[in-house]
Amino acid sequence: MSKITTEMRAQFEQEGYLVVNDIFTDADLKPIERDYSETLDQLARTLCAQRVISDVHADLPFGKRLIKILQEGNVNWAQYFDISLPQTQVHPDTPIHTTASVFDMLRHPALLDVVQQFIGPEIYSNPIQHTRIKPPEAMVPASARNGLVVRVGWHQDQGVATPEQDEVPVLTVWIPITDATVENGCLVVVPGSHKHELATHCPGTGPDGGLQIPSKQIGGKPVPVPIKRGGALFMHRLTKHASLTNHSDDIRWSFDLRYQPIGMPTGRPAFPGFVARSQLHPETELHDWRDWTTLWQDARATLSLGAAPAFNRWSSDAVACA
Ligand SMILES: O=C(O)CCC(=O)C(=O)O
Ligand SMILES: [Fe+2]
């Protein structure tokens, strides 16, 4: 089992976050890159056929190819790569990137071994999860600077879930596919902020158009958390964090996942989670990525009928948001 040391555990308790290096090998991550290259290839071919772009740019590596395509056409591409549905405007054919390689990452034994040391051996994959592929921000057209492709503002992950999840020890796991650096927009955290209460989050005020904690409520001194590919950041649900702008000339690519004990509210009931590991009932574990895909397709079908579930508790009328 990949072990975290007593010192590492103490650091998490003290600071509210922990970086663990070398969880994934290159061989673990390569299949994900291959799948995403395939998705980008299909998208490029479709856009070329629609004459949105003039060339499929098949000779370029993934990141540079995506940037080139974005430079040519103002394309709404992020949903093709995300491992979640959007919170609104779900249609029967809304794309979602549920592939075998991503499912293998969600169930990766070395990752779950670390998660187990935080929340125990009954591990549920919480559906609050995203793929974030961020181009250099200056290259994103102003009208598209929102959502998953730009930096996020200050928040606590508990604040992006519904309140029935408040007592659940949900653990955030942030996994870089490209090295995450200060230049390309790694995360910044306020050490120790998990010892404070949930702050007010104001809707529509973040740089991504989402929730954000007003600056006077951030407190503490933020520190950047660069991480090498292969490692992961583990974060308490109350740790205040944000991400930096991508000022580099290539993409910054990460997945953010969440895990919690089995049998507790996920804070996003409209989306499907699954049993990732169970020592008590191993027969309940989900092992086939196609079953995972079906869960998301079923959720998509339901949401496309027009259901409008609440995704969080915040109102822009809050005094702190004025
Ligand atoms: O990747 C980012 O920019 C933000 C991620 C985040 O807020 C999270 O993983 O909880
Ligand atoms: Fe977050």
Instruction: Please report whether residue 321 resides in a domain.
Output: no
Q: State the Cα–Cα distance between residues 220 and 191, nearest whole angstrom.
A: 7
**Which pLDDT score is estimated for 273?**
98
Distance 157 CA to ligand 2 centre (A): 5
CA of 242 to the centre of ligand 1 (A): 7
Q: Which of the listed residues 137, 247, 256 should we mutate to test ligand 1's pocket, taking the one with most ligand atoms within 8 A of CB?
A: 256
Q: What are the per-10-residue average pLDDT scores of the chain (322 residues)?
A: 89 98 97 98 96 95 95 88 95 97 98 98 98 94 89 96 95 98 98 96 93 93 98 98 98 98 96 98 98 98 90 87 83
Q: Which atom of ligand 1 is nearest to the CA of 130?
A: 9
Which amino acid, one-letter code, is at 290? R
Residue 216 maps to which CATH number? 2.60.120.620
Pick the atom of ligand 1 nearest to 155's CA. Answer: 7
- Note the pLDDT of residue 3: 81
Please check whether residue 38 lies inside any domain of the structure: no
Q: How far is the CA of 3 from the centre of ligand 2 (A)?
A: 25
In a domain, 139, yes or no: yes
Helices (H), the chain: 6-15, 26-49, 62-72, 100-106, 109-119, 289-303
Atom of ligand 1 minimally distant from the CA of 151: 3
Q: What is the pLDDT of residue 1?
A: 66
Residue 221 in any domain: the answer is yes
Residue 285: inside a domain, yes or no?
A: yes
Q: Identify the CA nearest to 106 among candidates 131, 83, 82, 125.
A: 125
Question: pLDDT digit string (tens) for 31-74?
Answer: 999 999 999 999 999 999 999 999 999 999 999 999 999 988 88
What's the pLDDT at 69?
93
Asked if the structure places residue 54 within a domain, the reply is no
* Number of domains into which the chain is organized: 1
Nearest residue by C-alpha to atom 8 in ligand 1: 256
Residue-range definition of the domain harbouring residue 231: 6-26+98-305
**291 residue type, one letter:** D
Whether residue 319 lies inside any domain: the answer is no
